[in-house]
Chain A
């Protein structure tokens, strides 16, 4: 009982100390992002879903709790409020972070495999399937080929016996 208690106290102390170790950047508490124009808000939400957070790379800006994601969300909101359109904001991000920031990568020389790959695979799969099916058909035809004279005789004798 005492052991568990000591362990718990140690655990709590340890987690408190490590929490301060992993402290991120400090600063003033931030204002929430508010929009007056519903169209701008819609653009903002769409963009925040299309742009990737570079810290937690499998999350988009709107899902991510990373400090950088928050900064980038605010930057997106600011630019849209200043009258930039979605393309301009996207370009701003790509200029700084590269195509990697896009969840919907553009079609170009470095991404053709990504876009074309599935179709190439499907082409080969279809080819294989057609080959298989036609070989099955061939087998069937061979089985139902004409009987030889000897086989016909045998068949007749079996039928007679019945």
Chain B
């Protein structure tokens, strides 16, 4: 075959490769890389869902390894991951909640119906704390180290694979840190 006929074919092949790579990557591409990783948790102090006389502040996240989970009763995929969070809490993982743009009644009803894996949940009715955490799609889960720094962010519901492959090993690693 003549070289001049081969050139378009090579270019076409290259475009096909680009397309396939793009398609395969598109699942993960939705995950916006968070600029918050490696930074201290945003400061907040909000009344809790469980008890409106008590508050949950960012100070409490210092000195221990914990998870912060953004959830809402109106969020369908939050329900999908809820069972796993319950199991994690039973295994002794400290999970703090931020209840995002939810009515107090609905949030409480949810916790009594599906179980409460959270040490406490901040009642972020306006979603203002959510903006500081860079929340754009509930549920979101953050891993916090002993210094109160965000070390990992998972957007969307966590599945068993995410917990076993990423979150649990990271928690162990962070617990070993000074």
Residues of A with Cβ closer than 8 Å to B? 21-27, 54-55, 57, 67-68, 71-72, 75, 94-100
Interface assignment of B72: CB less than 8 Å from any CB of chain A: yes
Q: Contacts A25-B74, A27-B125 hold; do A54 and B136 have CB atoms under 8 A apart?
A: yes
Are A67 and B101 in contact, CB atoms less than 8 angstroms apart?
A: yes
Q: Are A96 and B36 neighbours in the complex by a CB distance under 8 Å?
A: yes
Interchain residue pairs with CB less than 8 A apart (26): A22-B76, A23-B74, A25-B72, A25-B102, A26-B103, A27-B103, A27-B125, A54-B136, A54-B137, A55-B136, A55-B137, A57-B30, A67-B101, A67-B127, A71-B126, A71-B131, A72-B131, A75-B128, A75-B131, A94-B35, A96-B36, A96-B131, A96-B132, A97-B134, A98-B33, A98-B35
In the complex, which residues 99-144 of chain B have their Cβ closer than 8 Å to any Cβ of chain A? 100-103, 106, 125-128, 130-137
A57: nearest residue on chain B (CB-CB)? B30
Set of chain B residues within 8 Å of A57, measured between Cβ atoms: 30
Interface size class of B (residues with CB under 8 A): 20 to 34
Q: Report yes or no: B32 in contact with A24, Cβ–Cβ below 8 A.
A: no
CB distance B74 to A97 under 8 Å?
Answer: no
Q: Complex formed: what's the CA distance from A9 to B100 in Å?
A: 36
Q: A19 CA to B73 CA in the complex, in Å?
A: 16
- For the complex of A and B, the 6 pairs showing the least CB-CB separation, nearest first, are A54-B136, A25-B101, A98-B35, A96-B134, A100-B32, A97-B134
By DSSP majority rule, is chain A's interface helix, strand, loop, or mixed?
A: helix
The DSSP consensus for interface residues of chain B is loop
Partner-A contacts on B (CB < 8 A): 30, 32-36, 72, 74, 76, 100-103, 106, 125-128, 130-137
Q: Which of A25, A71, A99, A100 has most chain B Cβ within 10 Å?
A: A25
In the assembly, what is the distance between CA of A98 and CA of B36, in Å? 8
Distance in Å: Cβ of B127 to nearest Cβ of chain A: 5
Which one, B76, B106, B126, B132, contacts A21 given CB within 8 A? Answer: B76
Nearest residue (CB) in B for A55 is: B136
Nearest-Cβ distance from residue A85 to partner chain B, whole angstroms: 19
Q: What are the residues of chain A within 8 A of B34 when measuring CB–CB?
A: 98
User: Are A26 and B74 closer than 8 Å at their CB atoms?
Assistant: yes
Complex CA gap A19/B131 in Å reads 26
Inter-subunit contact A97/B132 (CB<8 Å)? no
Cα of A96 to Cα of B72 in the assembled complex, Å: 20
Chain A contacts of B74 at CB under 8 A? 23-26
Residue of B nearest to A70 (CB): B127
* Known contacts A54-B136, A54-B137, A75-B128; 19 further A-B pairs (Cβ under 8 A): A24-B74, A25-B72, A25-B74, A25-B101, A25-B127, A26-B103, A54-B32, A68-B135, A68-B136, A71-B126, A71-B130, A72-B131, A95-B35, A96-B35, A96-B36, A96-B132, A98-B33, A98-B35, A98-B134
CB distance from A109 to the nearest CB of B (A): 14
